[in-house]
Chains A and B, each alone.
Chain A
């Protein structure tokens, strides 16, 4: 099946620094990718929709200036957490739709810890 990769798998950073997370579709093209955040023992919460060649669409309550999304190509979307704070510590997961279905292929996730 289709594979989605994420890098890095985990990152620890100091408060105030910025962290970039990459999401790649390895064997298929994705004009749209999705970024989720998952806090411990909670469900996945959609943060934004990444659109190749256009601006990302953010969910209500998600600060677009803090979570910068760039969909540079048909196989790569990046999420940059700017000026990270401890409350941004979470599990960030990207996904890409499988063909013309509603099914999503999820990346392995990036665990961010902000000290």
Chain B
């Protein structure tokens, strides 16, 4: 079945440093979504990428979708303590499965 691999599993950064998480799929994706889950919270939708090579920005967050639509990345510039949480990528599932989630990247920001 479809798998979505995400690396790294953990990332500890000093406040102000940049952060990137990568997502790779075994198959071509029609779209890819990114979610953020704060500690103790629930996943919150961040963005959806649809087009090959698409790049979208949300303030300090930059999302990219690969040309082959098999990989994606989320880059955070100058991290802040409010960026702490786990970032999940998710691709559309098959059949009744709505989304296939990566294992997530847990970001810690040291002030």
Contact = CB atoms under 8 A, between A and B. Distances in A.
B43 interface: yes
Contact of B98 (A41, A43, A104): A104
A102 B102 contact: no
Interface in B22-65: 31, 33, 35, 41-45, 48
B101 A44 contact: yes
Contacts of A46: 93, 97-99
Contacts, number: 49
B35 to A, nearest CB: 8
Contacts of B33: 102-103
A43 B103 contact: yes
Nearest to B91: A102
Interface residues of B, number: 21
A57 interface: yes
Contact of A102 (B35, B92, B101, B103): B92
A49 B103 CA distance: 21
Contacts of A105: 45
16 contacts: A34-B98, A43-B102, A43-B103, A43-B104, A46-B93, A49-B98, A59-B97, A93-B42, A98-B45, A101-B48, A102-B31, A104-B45, A104-B98, A104-B99, A106-B35, A108-B41
